[in-house]
Structure 1
Amino acid sequence: MRHGYRPVLGLFLLVMVILMVGCTPSEGGTQGGDSSAAGSRGSALDQILERGSIRVGTTGDYFLSFIDPETGERAGFEIELVQMLAEDLDIEVEWVQTDWANLISGIAAGKYDITGAASYNMGRARSAGYTNPVLDYGTVPLVLAARVGEFSTWEDVNSGNVTVAVRQGTSFEDLSRVIAPEAQITAIASPATEYQEVLTGKADLALTSSIDAANLVSQYPQLAIPDLPARVRTPIGMLTPRGDFTLINFLNTWIASQEYSGALEELRQRWNL
């Protein structure tokens, strides 16, 4: 549902685009690394506006970004967020399929201008820029409902007798070695999923986001989330080309405007986030 503040917001963003396109990033900036690479070819924002479309890398394999089985269309918080951005810029969206293992290399190679929602991760931040957060989540274990009583503490997760499945290339692959260093970690490459390893008994549990876990439990009654406090609250933002401060500043301005208008909170609530 669109609101009356959109026309005013659109005019505000248009003014911001005009101002930002002509701006040169300061040498003191730190977000996303060295700006020389972006500066040599101009900001992706210039290219987006000239092209009339924004290319967005998305995995399409989790609750924030998925293919609706009934309509065959892309759906989720991440998808609607980008569509809101495109509407305010009066441009089209070009979805570019990627996977978690190649998310960073795709943006570094210029296959897409931004990604959808991606967890903050210092490894990623060395090779790409991040926008301000649009969401955050905690890390939780996902187990068979019949075994939920076996995991009453995080010490039960961090055991050499426990096999932990994580999605390869995601932040959980790194977090698993911090949260459960004693456990046996198995990284699952897409299109296979970590929760399928639990369902088939190949893993004792999966580590995933509180958002994904809640959605999966509603789909698969044989899965459950142990009654443990979520670990490592993690912000989520869009990934951008490394050092493209013009694009990052513009996106951050847009995100802030969505927060203050209430549109971003409305979107979170619509997706029960």
Structure 2
Amino acid sequence: MVLAGCNAQNGSTTTTSDPVPSATRTSSSTTASASSKSGSPNGALAAGSRLDAILAAKKLKVCTTGDYRPFSYLDPKTKQRSGIDVTMVQNLATSLEVPIEWVPTTWKTLMPDFTRKCDIAVGGVSISTERAQKAFFSDPVVTEGKTPITLCSNVSKYSTVAQINQPGVRAITPEGGTNEKFARANFPKAKIIVWGDNNTIFDQIIAGKADVMTTDASETVWVANTQPKLCAVHPQKPFNFSQKAYLLPRGDVAWQEYVNEWLNIARHDGTWAAATKPWFGATRLG
């Protein structure tokens, strides 16, 4: 699904970009012979598909970091979860008629936590060949890439890499992850501001302490929907390519096919549209 356009409404923002670079998906026909010998829960299928195990256990174990809106967020005060992927996986659990067991993880420990503890991982997970060596992916839910966000009055000033990569341009980025990596690789002439507080990073642009930030297009659309002074710059035509999907056990084709069939229905019956509307407003997803 390709992001296009944005609307603005009041709200608050938090950002933590997925730190694993995205790459072209590998074929879902990848075999699980290596993992089946290891005894990993995500390996051998001799006992049947994970789908059968979920139905037998009467619970769906979901890994998520809870720190990456608009996909997954765990409120530190209320302990309530929200986000597009949170809503979607709740619908998946409903289709299975089982409750969810949430399994906390971090981006650093996502893969080992997933392979040991979870049936599915959600929350803005980027597809990468590194991850595809260890797991399957669902069909992509979002196709996007890095794109700028800035004051609406400055959109024309920071719409290209060349415009941002200029002395005097203050390009702010979260510490670590793919955003800082992209900024340092593409804006060597600009002043890179590394900001440690993800809750206030966009406020720095509004306050005039930074000029622009380059992050995932989906995040720019969400922020622009909550901050009327900020605009996503061509989110439908990002600087590079990436896709987000749901992480699934390697080798388990039956479970992967179930998730993909559920996802196909959700895209067409209004479930996906309802999940994205609170975060993207009237933004159209192709």
TM-score (normalizing by structure 2): 0.66
Q: CA deviation at 1:84?
A: 0.6
Gaps of 5+ in 2: 1-25, 36-42
Say if 1:240 and 1:248, in contact at 8 Å, map to a contact too: yes
Task: Find 1:244's aligned residue among 242, 252, 263.
Answer: 252
Say if 2:64 and 2:72, in contact at 8 Å, map to a contact too: yes
Q: CA deviation at 1:242?
A: 2.4
CA-based RMSD of the aligned residues comes to: 3.8
In structure 2, what is the Cα distance between the partners aligned to 1:219 and 1:271? 8
Whether 2:163 is the aligned partner of 1:156: answer yes
In structure 2, what is the Cα distance between the partners aligned to 1:163 and 1:206? 6
Whether 2:265 is the aligned partner of 1:257: answer yes
Q: CA deviation at 1:140?
A: 1.6
AA partner of residue 275 (structure 2): L
Say if 2:159 and 2:234, in contact at 8 Å, map to a contact too: yes
Q: Which moved more, 1:252-261 or 1:198-207?
A: 198-207
Q: CA deviation at 1:209?
A: 2.1
Q: CA deviation at 1:85?
A: 0.6
Q: Cα deviations across residues 137-187 of structure 1 (Å, max 9, x unaligned)?
A: 342223467876652432123457665524644x54665566557667788
In structure 1, what is the Cα distance between the partners aligned to 2:30 and 2:125? 18
Question: Number of matched residues?
Answer: 241
Say if 2:172 and 2:195, in contact at 8 Å, map to a contact too: no
Q: CA deviation at 1:244?
A: 2.4
Whether 2:97 is the aligned partner of 1:90: answer yes
Higher helix share: 1
The equivalent of 1:66 in structure 2 is 73
Say if 1:44 and 1:244, in contact at 8 Å, map to a contact too: yes
Whether 2:201 is the aligned partner of 1:196: answer yes
In structure 1, what is the Cα distance between the partners aligned to 2:210 and 2:74? 26
Whether 2:243 is the aligned partner of 1:235: answer yes
The residue correspondences of 1:25-64 to structure 2 (distance < 5 A) are 30-31=27-28, 33-36=30-33, 37=35, 38-39=43-44, 42=47, 43-61=49-67, 62-64=69-71
